[in-house]
A and B are shown apart, each in its own frame.
Chain A
Amino acid sequence: DGGITQSPKYLFRKEGQNVTLSCEQNLNHDAMYWYRQDPGQGLRLIYYSQIVNDFQKGDIAEGYSVSREKKESFPLTVTSAQKNPTAFYLCASSISVAELFFGEGSRLTVL
């Protein structure tokens, strides 16, 4: 079945560590997105990519990095510069300006 796969579902990070969240899609969508979800704040955009080898910062890109080397993959790295990384992270993709399709999310906790 076509869809978006995020891994891992749960991730723990120690202070000062970088961690990478995986996002893979087999929907043949050009655009991919990373959102962060905190309680009471809805979803906030971290980064998005409309085409391979190109991506743009969203509203809260500081402390995060991404790459888009393949159409199917859009990994997100949470760096040690992100001071409050504990959150739920959602990856999404779309084929046009219509709806986004979401993965099941990854929960990151800082120890």
Chain B
Amino acid sequence: AQTVTQSQPEMSVQEAETVTLSCTYDTSESDYYLFWYKQPPSRQMILVIRQEAYKQQNATENRFSVNFQKAAKSFSLKISDSQLGDAAMYFCAYRSAFYNNDMRFGAGTRLTVKP
């Protein structure tokens, strides 16, 4: 079974600075999707960014970008120009491209943004 590991339970960043959240995963499949979700105090899960494994180009969404290293099975999230509203739990997730089943989540990283 696929597993997703987030080795940083907590991270903090100064407002306007850059922070990188780490994620590694384990899979024997060749095609899959990777995601970063944000969960603010409201508990609503919000999609931040997604990456298709067959695409070599790293995904970007405004201040959010990923560093996808397929051979190393690594998928880190970089948040640039951090804002107070970025404070939340961030979850890395994996989903197979072949089986329409569940999405596997890491344990999460709690990000604090200091003013």
Q: A residues within 8 Å of B by Cβ?
A: 31, 33, 35, 40-45, 48, 50, 56, 58, 88, 90, 92, 94, 96-100, 102, 104-105
Contacts and interface: CB of A to CB of B under 8 A. Distances in A.
B96 to A, nearest CB: 7
Interface of B: 4, 9, 33, 35, 42-45, 47, 50, 91, 95-103, 105-108
Given A42-B108, A90-B45, A105-B44, A100 B103 contact: yes
A63 to B, nearest CB: 18
Nearest to B31: A97
B86 to A, nearest CB: 19
30 contacts: A33-B102, A33-B103, A40-B9, A40-B108, A41-B107, A42-B91, A42-B106, A42-B107, A42-B108, A43-B91, A44-B105, A45-B102, A48-B101, A48-B102, A50-B101, A56-B101, A90-B45, A92-B45, A92-B103, A97-B96, A97-B98, A97-B100, A98-B33, A98-B95, A99-B35, A99-B50, A100-B45, A104-B43, A105-B43, A105-B44
Nearest to A104: B44
Contact of B33 (A31, A43, A92, A97): A97
A82 B106 CA distance: 24
A73 B106 CA distance: 27
A77 B98 CA distance: 29
Main secondary structure of the interface of A (DSSP, over half): strand
Given A40-B9, A97-B95, A104 B100 contact: no
